[in-house]
Chain A
Amino acid sequence: MNIDDIRTCIATASAELSARKEEINRLNVFPVPDGDTGTNMSLTMESVAREVAALPAGADGAALRKAVTHGSLMGARGNSGVITSQILRGLCEGLADVTDYSTETVAHALARAVEVAFQAVRKPVKGTILTVLEDCANVAQRACEDGLDVTSTLHAISDEALASVKRTPELLPVLKENGVVDSGGFGLAVLIQSFIAALTGEQAHLASAEDFTHAEAKVAIEHVRDWAGSDYMYCTEFLLHSDEVDPVEALEFLASIGDCELLVGAHPDFKVHVHTDTPGTVLTYMTDRGQVSEVFIHNMVLESEERADGIAADEAAAKPAERKPIAFIAVAAGEGMANILRSLGVDYVVSGGQTMNPSTKDLLDAIDQVNADSVILLPNNKNIIMAANAAADNAAIPCRVIPTTSVPASFSAMLVADLEGDLEDNVEAMTEVLDEVKCGEVTTAIKDSKTSDGREIRPDDVIGIADGSLDVVGQSVEEVTLALIDKLNDDLDSLTLLAGADLSQEDFESLVEQVEELHPDLEVDAQRGEQPLYPIVFSIE
């Protein structure tokens, strides 16, 4: 075995991990169920593989170890990524000055990996990646004592990695509750197994996550949000280049403002990871002591919700539902809007709107999901109509677009839809009603502009858009909404008002009260749409 062989094995293991990152993501409930363990570990390993691949041919063991240590530290993402980088660093340290690969060297390297990895984590928890690593190290130690040869030892380690992963639910109750095994542990097992398989040239049995998860228990994932470790909102991580930082003191600081804190590496290069509500404080502390780069801050609460939603949606989709003659797909941002659409018979809501237009592919995916013989698409924004038309043209089943330019317009269209009816009849009825619906949108200007009749608009002015034309400018949501209703109300009789996520219920109620007072003939339906950026969206007909 030579250095080049090991480089190939690293590339193989990295590729295997990347290929299976989604499988690993889905297991992620600890310490925060944000579903990114697989992604983080594979990003870390990809960085290693890149650095190793960049080595010149014939590079020696020291160069390889340096590449692995440096690449993993630079690329480390998330808790699991940082711990992975420390395991690799430990392995490299344990293999320094080694010329022949014996059972003893393997055991020694793993023992060192355990030491380094445990140092990185201030409060190690049983049933995680650390336990899997420790179990593997123990098997290697026993192999030494039993006098096993290297190949047998490697096989024993590979088997133990999987066996240890299977035991994690017994050690960590949150895993058992969710019917999963530990995601980081599983990621490490994938890494170990694929590396050893490549090294020994034998295809090991690579376990899949489905082997030991219980599909029926997965829905319980929401419960985990109460988990004590997920109290903080932002996962904050970055590289710190500092000659003067005191790692012990810095870790104590991190522990004082968050959890899951990690500070690894050695002067001058460190990787910092912490879950906190005040990422700014962390960055200030660190920039006082050195240079900060590769900063990643992500909102774990949102990610966790997205993950739970994603799993719920996948599970709903996985159920062999009865094939419908016709399905309705609408685009909307805001859970309130989505719920109203569903209550009107929309089968699938694609998340999107003014600021995030779904792609044609997103819409085609939705068409695939609904299990229907034909589909009606409601784009609900003029910038999405083209993508919807393209999706309709490329769909495998008959698909038609109702050119709705707002969500409330699609409410009106859904009210006339025949949920069990014929595609063309529905298109006709739904398109016809669009002529009768007028739509108003209220938002805040972000740059200098002009209204349709030439009045100046300054940033932070509240603006009102009447059927796509920027007609009203004012200083408050209330003022602009009332002006917009006046403008659009041409002896009309029903108004559907939707409050955005940023409009308080109190302000909304006061607005509704005024509208009802000023327009006693209007039938007002006030709903929370929870749409982003637009405090008020309404339709009037």
Chain B
Amino acid sequence: MEKIAIVTDNSCDASDAELAELGVECVHLRVIRPDGTHFPEDNTPDNIEAFYDYVVDCDELPSTSMPPLLDFAQLYTDLALDGYTHVISMHISSRMSGTVHTARMAAESAPIPVEVIDTRCNTVAQYLFVRRIAQLRAYGLGFDELVEAAHDLVGKTSVCFMLDKLRNLIKGGRTGKATGLAATLLKIKPLLTVDPEGEVETFGKAKSPKRAVIKLVERYKELEESFGPLECCFAHTRNMGGVDDLRNAMIEAGINLLEVGVRMVGPVITTHVSTGCFGFAYIPQDERVLGLA
């Protein structure tokens, strides 16, 4: 009888308690202040708010380090000891972090089979990804079917959001394919996404948040044309107003919104995008688990 464990990391921006509710284990990337001290690793709303306070005008950006190999090795071993027969370990895009690589090294010497999945996404999209696999496990899929479902989701789930402040992105040098933004002299609100390869990419530029909303709605419609009906989860870094405007505009545009909720983006990503961002994460709907919490 298979007993399948699901593992992710805290760049999915859900709190440890939320993940535990889904039956998902979490390893932690570290977010480190310039003085060497660590931010709390659990994405509770209070911890995230405190991080926003810090990052909005810090002189020097915090740095991120991937979870140590030992964390993975310990977790996989513990899961085996707990009677799990298989592990699906799903992590932040390998284009953004070495976490996937570390997980794979630990998987090689794990006492049970561990399938490491490079989700090619991050933050709230990674949450939707992991949540979906947990739902499918509850639906009754076996290990091989879950692995297949996970591979199938890669490239189909991502985030699209408006960047309010370019400062941190440029400061951190993490512009990826959005490098051209650093040169722009006009005040603009870049629209960013994570492409199917797992890299940050600009898909548009808007002159105002209002324009950004229009473009985000257009983008959502295009994505539904490509992937069929989507589940949507709004995401922001302290910009609920932006989320409300976006939701209203989507409804006005006649989109049948299947909303998972509104989530705050956590420290790993916010370090680079700062506060004021808003947008959505999406994942194609799956009839098998439609309407499941």
| Cβ contact within 8 Å between B185 and A494 | no
Residue numbers in A under 8 Å from B206 (CB-CB): 415
B187 — nearest CB in chain A belongs to which residue? Answer: A525
Q: How far is the CB of A33 from chain B (nearest CB, A)?
A: 29
| Cβ contact within 8 Å between A523 and B207 | yes
A345 — nearest CB in chain B belongs to which residue? Answer: B180
- How far apart sit A73 and B207, CA to CA, in the bound complex (Å)? 60
Residue numbers in A under 8 Å from B211 (CB-CB): 493-494, 541
| Cβ contact within 8 Å between A419 and B185 | no
B188 within 8 Å of A by Cβ? yes
Contact residue among A339, A342, A345, A525 (Cβ-Cβ distance under 8 Å from B207): A525
A119 within 8 Å of B by Cβ? no
| Cβ contact within 8 Å between B209 and A523 | yes
B188 — nearest CB in chain A belongs to which residue? Answer: A415
Q: How far is the CB of B203 from chain A (nearest CB, A)?
A: 10
| Cβ contact within 8 Å between A525 and B186 | yes
| Cβ contact within 8 Å between B180 and A419 | yes
Residue numbers in B under 8 Å from A416 (CB-CB): 204-205
Residue numbers in A under 8 Å from B205 (CB-CB): 415-416
- How far apart sit A419 and B202, CA to CA, in the bound complex (Å)? 11
| Cβ contact within 8 Å between B185 and A412 | no
B183 within 8 Å of A by Cβ? yes
Contact residue among B184, B204, B208 (Cβ-Cβ distance under 8 Å from A523): B208
| Cβ contact within 8 Å between A494 and B186 | no
Q: How far is the CB of B157 from chain A (nearest CB, A)?
A: 24
| Cβ contact within 8 Å between B204 and A493 | no
- How far apart sit A468 and B102, CA to CA, in the bound complex (Å)? 62
Q: How far is the CB of B235 from chain A (nearest CB, A)?
A: 22
B residues 197-219 with Cβ under 8 Å of A?
204-211
**Known pairs A345-B180, A419-B180; A496 contacts B185 (CB<8 A):** no
Q: How far is the CB of A499 from chain B (nearest CB, A)?
A: 13
Residue numbers in A under 8 Å from B186 (CB-CB): 340, 343-344, 411, 415, 496, 525, 527
B206 — nearest CB in chain A belongs to which residue? Answer: A415
- How far apart sit A342 and B185, CA to CA, in the bound complex (Å)? 9
Chain A-chain B contacts (Cβ-Cβ < 8 Å), number: 45
Q: How far is the CB of B145 from chain A (nearest CB, A)?
A: 39
Count of residues in B whose CB is under 8 Å from the partner chain: 15
A residues 403-444 with Cβ under 8 Å of B?
411-412, 415-416, 419
A339 — nearest CB in chain B belongs to which residue? Answer: B185
Residue numbers in B under 8 Å from A339 (CB-CB): 185
Contact residue among B185, B207, B208, B210 (Cβ-Cβ distance under 8 Å from A343): B185
Count of residues in A whose CB is under 8 Å from the partner chain: 18
A416 — nearest CB in chain B belongs to which residue? Answer: B204
Q: How far is the CB of A183 from chain B (nearest CB, A)?
A: 36
Q: How far is the CB of B133 from chain A (nearest CB, A)?
A: 34
B184 — nearest CB in chain A belongs to which residue? Answer: A343
B189 — nearest CB in chain A belongs to which residue? Answer: A523
Residue numbers in A under 8 Å from B210 (CB-CB): 493-494, 523
Scoring A343, A411, A416, A527 by chain B CB atoms within 10 A of each residue's CB, the highest score goes to A343
- How far apart sit A280 and B209, CA to CA, in the bound complex (Å)? 55
Q: How far is the CB of B27 from chain A (nearest CB, A)?
A: 37
Q: How far is the CB of B35 from chain A (nearest CB, A)?
A: 36
- How far apart sit A526 and B211, CA to CA, in the bound complex (Å)? 18
A residues 337-392 with Cβ under 8 Å of B?
339-340, 342-345
- How far apart sit A493 and B189, CA to CA, in the bound complex (Å)? 13
A539 — nearest CB in chain B belongs to which residue? Answer: B207
Chain A 489-529: CB-based contact to B (< 8 A → 1; otherwise 0): 00001101000000000000000000000000001010100
Residue numbers in A under 8 Å from B208 (CB-CB): 493-494, 523
Residue numbers in A under 8 Å from B185 (CB-CB): 339-340, 343-344, 527
| Cβ contact within 8 Å between A523 and B187 | yes
Residue numbers in A under 8 Å from B209 (CB-CB): 523
- How far apart sit A340 and B186, CA to CA, in the bound complex (Å)? 7
A417 — nearest CB in chain B belongs to which residue? Answer: B205
Residue numbers in B under 8 Å from A523 (CB-CB): 187, 207-210
- How far apart sit A493 and B206, CA to CA, in the bound complex (Å)? 11
- How far apart sit A419 and B208, CA to CA, in the bound complex (Å)? 21
B residues 151-186 with Cβ under 8 Å of A?
180, 183-186
Q: How far is the CB of A432 from chain B (nearest CB, A)?
A: 12
- How far apart sit A496 and B205, CA to CA, in the bound complex (Å)? 14
Q: How far is the CB of B278 from chain A (nearest CB, A)?
A: 15
| Cβ contact within 8 Å between A415 and B207 | yes
- How far apart sit A206 and B204, CA to CA, in the bound complex (Å)? 57
A residues 20-62 with Cβ under 8 Å of B?
none
B203 — nearest CB in chain A belongs to which residue? Answer: A418
Residue numbers in B under 8 Å from A493 (CB-CB): 207-208, 210-211
Residue numbers in B under 8 Å from A527 (CB-CB): 185-186
- How far apart sit A523 and B180, CA to CA, in the bound complex (Å)? 22
| Cβ contact within 8 Å between B184 and A344 | yes
Scoring B185, B209, B210 by chain A CB atoms within 10 A of each residue's CB, the highest score goes to B185
- How far apart sit A419 and B184, CA to CA, in the bound complex (Å)? 13
- How far apart sit A199 and B208, CA to CA, in the bound complex (Å)? 73
Q: How far is the CB of A325 from chain B (nearest CB, A)?
A: 15
Residue numbers in B under 8 Å from A342 (CB-CB): 183
Scoring A345, A411, A494, A541 by chain B CB atoms within 10 A of each residue's CB, the highest score goes to A494
A residues 458-509 with Cβ under 8 Å of B?
493-494, 496
Residue numbers in B under 8 Å from A494 (CB-CB): 207-208, 210-211
Chain B 4-38: CB-based contact to A (< 8 A → 1; otherwise 0): 00000000000000000000000000000000000
Scoring A339, A493, A496, A541 by chain B CB atoms within 10 A of each residue's CB, the highest score goes to A493
Scoring B184, B205, B207, B209 by chain A CB atoms within 10 A of each residue's CB, the highest score goes to B207
B185 — nearest CB in chain A belongs to which residue? Answer: A343
Q: How far is the CB of B179 from chain A (nearest CB, A)?
A: 11
- How far apart sit A523 and B210, CA to CA, in the bound complex (Å)? 9
- How far apart sit A519 and B95, CA to CA, in the bound complex (Å)? 43
- How far apart sit A271 and B183, CA to CA, in the bound complex (Å)? 51
Residue numbers in A under 8 Å from B183 (CB-CB): 342-343
Residue numbers in B under 8 Å from A345 (CB-CB): 180
Residue numbers in A under 8 Å from B207 (CB-CB): 412, 415, 493-494, 496, 523, 525, 541
- How far apart sit A527 and B209, CA to CA, in the bound complex (Å)? 19
- How far apart sit A227 and B227, CA to CA, in the bound complex (Å)? 66
Q: How far is the CB of A278 from chain B (nearest CB, A)?
A: 38
- How far apart sit A340 and B211, CA to CA, in the bound complex (Å)? 20
Residue numbers in A under 8 Å from B180 (CB-CB): 345, 419
Residue numbers in B under 8 Å from A496 (CB-CB): 186, 207
Q: How far is the CB of A416 from chain B (nearest CB, A)?
A: 7
- How far apart sit A120 and B208, CA to CA, in the bound complex (Å)? 65
- How far apart sit A344 and B207, CA to CA, in the bound complex (Å)? 13
- How far apart sit A525 and B187, CA to CA, in the bound complex (Å)? 6
Q: How far is the CB of A259 from chain B (nearest CB, A)?
A: 39
- How far apart sit A525 and B209, CA to CA, in the bound complex (Å)? 13
Residue numbers in A under 8 Å from B184 (CB-CB): 343-344
Further pairs besides A411-B186, A415-B206, A527-B185: 14, Cβ < 8 Å = A340-B185, A343-B183, A343-B186, A344-B184, A344-B185, A412-B207, A415-B205, A494-B208, A494-B211, A523-B187, A523-B210, A525-B186, A525-B187, A527-B186
Q: List 20 A-B contacts (CB under 8 A).
A: A339-B185, A340-B186, A344-B184, A345-B180, A412-B207, A415-B205, A416-B204, A416-B205, A419-B180, A493-B211, A494-B208, A494-B210, A496-B186, A523-B187, A523-B207, A523-B208, A523-B209, A525-B186, A527-B186, A541-B211
Top-9 shortest CB links A-B: A523-B208, A494-B207, A494-B208, A525-B187, A343-B185, A493-B210, A415-B205, A493-B208, A343-B183
Listed in ascending order, the chain B residues whose CB lies under 8 Å from chain A are 180, 183-188, 204-211
